[in-house]
Structure 1
Amino acid sequence: MSLSLKFDPKTIEHLGVKMYATLPPALAELISNAYDADASEVTVSFLEQNGTPKAITVEDNGTGMSLNDIQGKFLVIGRNRRDEGDIPSAKFRRLATGKKGLGKLALFGLAKEISVETVKDGLRNRFRLNWDALLASADIYNPQVDVEDKKVSQEPKTIIQLTELKRKSPFDLEAIADSLSRIFIVDSNFKIRLKDGKGRVITILEDRRYSNIEQQFTWSEDDLIESDSEYFGKVKIFLATGVTPIPPSSGLRGIALFSRGKLVNAPEYFADSTSSHFYQYLTGWIKADFIDLLDEDVISTNRQALNWDQPEMSKFREFLSTLIARVGQDWRKRRANKKDKDVEKVTGINKEHWFSTLPPDIKTSVEAIVKKMGESEEVSETFAPVVMALYAIVPEYPLLHWRHLHASIKDGVFEYYKNQQYGHAADQGAKLYAAFVRKLAATDKDGVELANFFSFTYDTIARKCSKSPTIPVNDLSTDSLRNVQEGQGALTRGLMQGFRNPINHAPMSAVVPSLISELDCLNILSLVSYLANKLEYAENLSKP
């Protein structure tokens, strides 16, 4: 049988050479053919000689082609296989990824000499295509047939070998694997293997696509599509954000669209504005097989873009735009929450508890600052140190902290104060001071009598104390220091008579909060702290 390929040479040149001049898209077309042929695996082998590419071989274990298949299907350019009906494959029930019948032109984008060997129903056929001979033909090209319907005891398969390659640079197996992983959503029953001349094999698995991205948050269709949406059950979604911005060079920024497991729209955001930092972190895919079922073909020939002007696709794009915007909002919330948890882990600061201890006016300002930083897309590593610095300035119960109370007084009244028992806190402060005085005076007296332990008699003629105080708060060497000593006694008496005694001789409910507000409490504690600090002089004198 004489095989023939009918064509316009310009068609071959424009749709083959120019569209598939780069390796991954061209290989993707050959891999798609294997998938459509119900193969469970396809192996792409690369042969080099002294670093120069010599051959590419694509072998699959699909159904193979008969001589009639070769002539009526493979060698017909522009054949729309969907015209024959969208029928699932026999073994894996796959729906065809090919539609335009142009993928075979990928062969001429890579090489000048192409050999196709195939086995189906125990019959083997092999033919060759030559680029120069094809262009020299008018409108019909007759490939060279090497083997015709030879009976063999072999399983079905197809082997396509490309030689006289146009590529001059060495093959980068890892880079090719990365590129192919972005073109296919790998079927669990379809393995893609890459092999070099040294026996190295890379199997392209589904997780390869995002293996170099440290994922932080993910979303699926269950998170994003409500049951009443017209797209419920019609799309599969995997969206993720990285811990750090995704490098533009990775080709993974944005959301890729797939139909029937193959790329139909390069990654994008489906948004009018992409100024937000959120888009630098976003990647993922959306599988929408319904795109292939539309009456109008909306997929570009190179499968890099969709016709968004088509009414159904325009509506779908609007849906995707809204969906991505929701993901952006959720990302900011999740990121802020994670920042809070990270800050608590690093600093030990519980943000909510901290805020609850602040007075309303201070809380409003501090909360606004922390919230703004938490929502900021720019603040990340600096967030915890900034919060720690702010916490140092505005700690829990700041009004108490800012009084710089004597340590023993502050510690002793803290439980009362934080529970808003201001009368008890002030009373406890006075009691702690009284206990300090009794200890230094070695007495069991209490109340206003404690003021007497600061009394002294000074002989102005002899210029010395004729009676020294039991508890001196300084060396009494000057009039000013003696005034301070007398003031210590007077203030102690005032504290006991003006505050301590009323508290002790009346129910606490009668004086709190009508007489002892938070401000009153703080003022009393400041006085107590001042008096307690003055006792340190006498305490140091008593030490051996």
Structure 2
Amino acid sequence: MTKAISPKYQMRMSLNVLNHLGINLYSNIPAVLSEVVANAYDADATRVDITLTENSIIIKDNGHGMTLNDINAKFLYVGYQRRENSEELSHSLKRKVMGRKGIGKLSLFSIANNIEVHSIRKNPNSGLTEKNGLIMNRNDIVKQIGKNETGVYIPSNVEESEFDIDCGTRLIITDLKKNISHTHNFLKKRLARRFTVIDDKDFQVFINEEAITFKDRDYMSKVQFLWTVGDNLIDYSKWFNFERINRLNGDVDGTPYKISGWIGAVEKPSDLDQDNINNNKISIICRGKMAQEDILESFNEGGIYATYLIGELHADFLDDSDKDDIATSSRQKIDEEDPRYQVLESHIYKLLKQIQGVWTNLRNEVAIATAVQKADAFNPVLTEWFSSLRTESRKNHALKLFSAIETLHFTPQEEKEKKRELYKQGILAFEKLKLRDSLHELEKIKNPQDIKLASIFTDLSDIEANLYYDIAYQRVDVIHKFQEQLDDNNKEKLLQLYLFDNLWLLNPSWERATSGNAILEKNVDAEFGKVNAGLTAEEKAGRMDIKYRTSAGKHIIVELKRYLPSYPISPTKLYNQGKKYRSALKKCINVAGQGDPPIEIIFVLGKRFNDEDYNESLELLKLINGRIIYYDDLIKDSLDSYSEYLDKQKEVSRIRAIIDRI
């Protein structure tokens, strides 16, 4: 009778473990490859090569390889826990091993149906090498488990002559279930983010012969502010293009635990969106490998600052070999009910609140420092406007305005148009506040999201009015009409048309002259009627008009004489007429119970007095607080007085031109 020959290879697994996990262990290729890379690291490999083809993934390492016993007792034994078998450190390099549960090899079947293993182990004592090769098929495993309650699966043998590696282990993964044709650069990024030991001089990983480096994480240049946590062995400063760097405490309160790593904030949330994946995450790293992809989501943090964060925190205490395994079955998350995780979570939350407390000020400082460059990059017209500001104080306020706009977040589709509108409104608002000497109101912009367009960036017509646009235009227009129509007949008609509603021609401080309240005005008209009734026909013919107005707390009587009166006007006659009008107005004011406010009387004359009469009129009119203004002087003095308004008109035109060019 022929004796049964024991198979060369045997795969043994606990059905309970398999039922708990299922063969579809992981959900994505980076997670699967991470398990293989971690196994290579634990096998003292210094180099791992991943080769992607259209139909396969080949992973080769230069580690110590496996003996037949290693393959059967460890690799093929699902659930083998190396740390419980005094394998806390790797054989030769004494690395703290990453593997723990002994189930990572099942992850390969998440992406493929066929796994071929080639391994060479050199005996350090004899110098002899041992070669072993096998093929595992997912469909065969499932069928075999269904037939055999002991959970034994017999892989196919690969003869030594069929593989040619000279050291380490090679995995050939075929019959892929996922398309990998586009994953070369994607995998580089994802693997770079899953390990901190990659890029170390003692451990390098290559994909299609391209080395994976820390830089392949591809968010390094996007980090604007960096907070290092605890004591770090890695010098992050050589990778990040940060504006500011700060340090946070890595000692977990009330425990002997320590953490290290970093938390960064980017300039805008869209910087964290890459390859349709949102990197707004803070990962937890144990023993150089990602243990949890994101702890930030655990906090449900509502502050806007959180949407700008990314980070990586090392917490090796979560994976201490003498403590219970804290990882969930999939090895992609941590048991959040474990007390160690809860104290870590509490400490990280405190760190986040520290970041929140300074984040806005840091952004404002940097935005102010780079405000002009960013504004110029958006539109050089903004720099032109900024350069026109004459004082350092105004420039500082303009910088704050620019920075507030630049720190706002827009989607790429809306950024250009919304920024253009904000810059337009911002400049107009700035000019308005400048004229009101209220630029300090810009200090209210503490957070870019707090900009209230309704209260600060008001509408165009309101701003332009505050820029003296309407005032300048109207006043200069009146003056220009006088200049254009200087013949004697037109002067008195123009003055009658404009003077009484534009008392600023007589005194720039009389901005808003009115007729007083209705009752007082009615009484004044009646009293002036009595005065007029007493005038001679000649006096009436020599007067063009008379009006009563109030402005700046003063009661004003303006009598407009004809430019060329038909009878002689003497200082005495002006005094007597003015005295009558003053008495009539004072009577009305007293009846209205308004006390004894100042009254001013102005006579607008066309024909000039000689020097003697002019001096006499000055002395007489002082007695009733009166004065004389000549038609021609009024036009000249107005032009002189309103040269400022002419300048303002030019300023408005300049600003209008700038706004139109943005």
- Cα 1:213–1:268, aligned 2, differ >3 Å: closer, same or farther? farther
Distance 2:107 2:402 in 1: 54
Q: Which residue is equivalent to 2:317?
A: 290
1:131 aligns with 2:255: no
Q: Which residue is equivalent to 1:281?
A: 308
Alignment partner of 1:236 out of 253, 256, 260: 260
Q: Which residue is equivalent to 1:264?
A: 291
Q: Which residue is equivalent to 1:511?
A: none
- Cα 1:270–1:325, aligned 2, differ >3 Å: closer, same or farther? farther
Amino acid of the structure 2 residue aligned with 1:129: M
Q: Deviations over 1:286-312 (max 9, x none)?
A: 122221116121112323321222112
Distance 1:35 1:170 in 2: 26
Q: Which residue is equivalent to 1:340?
A: 368
Q: Deviations over 1:462-484 (max 9, x none)?
A: 9799xxxxxxxxxxxx9625599
Alignment partner of 1:395 out of 421, 429, 434: 434
* Conservation of the 8 A alpha-carbon contact between 1:6 and 1:141: yes
* Conservation of the 8 A alpha-carbon contact between 2:48 and 2:204: yes
Q: Deviations over 1:250-272 (max 9, x none)?
A: 23112111111211112242564
Which stretches of structure 1, 4 residues or more, deviate above 6 A after TM superposition? 349-352, 369-372, 399-404, 458-465, 483-486, 529-532
Shift of 1:171: 4.8
Q: Which residue is equivalent to 1:414?
A: none
1:322 aligns with 2:350: yes
Q: Deviations over 1:306-364 (max 9, x none)?
A: 1222112111101111111222232211112223334466536799935999xxxxxxx
**Structure 2: 5+ residue stretches without partners:** 1-6, 123-128, 231-245, 376-385, 440-465, 473-562, 571-601, 620-635, 644-662
Q: Deviations over 1:484-531 (max 9, x none)?
A: 999xx99xx99xxxxxxxxxxxxxxxxxxxxxxxxxxxxxxxxxx978
Q: Which residue is equivalent to 2:157?
A: 145
Distance 1:133 1:306 in 2: 32
TM-score, normalised via structure 2 length: 0.53
* Conservation of the 8 A alpha-carbon contact between 2:49 and 2:206: yes
Q: Which residue is equivalent to 2:178?
A: 167
Amino acid of the structure 2 residue aligned with 1:133: D
* Conservation of the 8 A alpha-carbon contact between 1:17 and 1:110: no
Q: Which residue is equivalent to 1:353?
A: 393
Q: Which residue is equivalent to 1:431?
A: none
Secondary structure in 2 matching 1:297: coil
Shift of 1:168: 5.3
* Conservation of the 8 A alpha-carbon contact between 2:135 and 2:155: yes
Distance 2:15 2:324 in 1: 27
Shift of 1:118: 0.8
**Structure 1: 5+ residue stretches without partners:** 196-200, 358-365, 407-457, 466-477, 495-528, 537-544
* Conservation of the 8 A alpha-carbon contact between 1:3 and 1:71: yes
- Cα 1:232–1:481, aligned 2, differ >3 Å: closer, same or farther? farther
Distance 2:221 2:26 in 1: 28
What does 1:451-490 correspond to in 2, within 5 Å? 480=604
Query: Which structure ranks higher in relative contact order (CA pairs < 8 Å, sequence separation ≥ 6)?
Result: 1
- Cα 1:286–1:4, aligned 2, differ >3 Å: closer, same or farther? same
Distance 1:461 1:351 in 2: 57
Distance 1:309 1:371 in 2: 47
- Cα 1:36–1:394, aligned 2, differ >3 Å: closer, same or farther? same
Shift of 1:202: 3.3
Q: Which residue is equivalent to 1:62?
A: 63
Shift of 1:90: 4.7
Secondary structure in 1 matching 2:70: helix
Amino acid of the structure 2 residue aligned with 1:341: A
RMSD: 4.6
Alignment partner of 1:308 out of 336, 352, 362: 336
Amino acid of the structure 1 residue aligned with 2:30: P
Amino acid of the structure 1 residue aligned with 2:143: A
Q: Deviations over 1:89-120 (max 9, x none)?
A: 35543211111100011232233332211111
* Conservation of the 8 A alpha-carbon contact between 2:98 and 2:287: yes
- Cα 1:484–1:73, aligned 2, differ >3 Å: closer, same or farther? farther
Secondary structure in 1 matching 2:226: strand
What does 1:356-371 correspond to in 2, within 5 Å? none
TM-score, normalised via structure 1 length: 0.64
Distance 2:435 2:337 in 1: 58
Distance 1:351 1:100 in 2: 69
What does 1:524-539 correspond to in 2, within 5 Å? 533-534=640-641
Secondary structure in 2 matching 1:533: helix
Q: Which residue is equivalent to 2:660?
A: none
Over the matched positions of the two proteins, sequence identity in percent amounts to 22
* Conservation of the 8 A alpha-carbon contact between 1:112 and 1:131: yes
Distance 1:221 1:16 in 2: 38
* Conservation of the 8 A alpha-carbon contact between 2:111 and 2:178: yes
Secondary structure in 1 matching 2:45: coil
Shift of 1:243: 2.0
- Cα 1:215–1:3, aligned 2, differ >3 Å: closer, same or farther? same
Distance 1:81 1:377 in 2: 52
- Cα 1:399–1:481, aligned 2, differ >3 Å: closer, same or farther? farther
Shift of 1:374: 8.0
What does 1:67-82 correspond to in 2, within 5 Å? 67-82=68-83
Secondary structure in 2 matching 1:193: strand
Q: Which residue is equivalent to 1:226?
A: 249
Q: Which residue is equivalent to 1:209?
A: 217
Secondary structure in 2 matching 1:72: helix
Shift of 1:141: 1.7
Shift of 1:174: 1.9
Shift of 1:83: 0.8
Q: Deviations over 1:432-477 (max 9, x none)?
A: xxxxxxxxxxxxxxxxxxxxxxxxxx99779799xxxxxxxxxxxx
Amino acid of the structure 2 residue aligned with 1:156: C
1:157 aligns with 2:264: no
Shift of 1:129: 1.9
Secondary structure in 2 matching 1:253: coil
Greater Cα shift, 304-313 or 230-239: 230-239
Amino acid of the structure 1 residue aligned with 2:258: K
1:252 aligns with 2:260: no
* Conservation of the 8 A alpha-carbon contact between 2:109 and 2:138: yes
Amino acid of the structure 2 residue aligned with 1:207: K
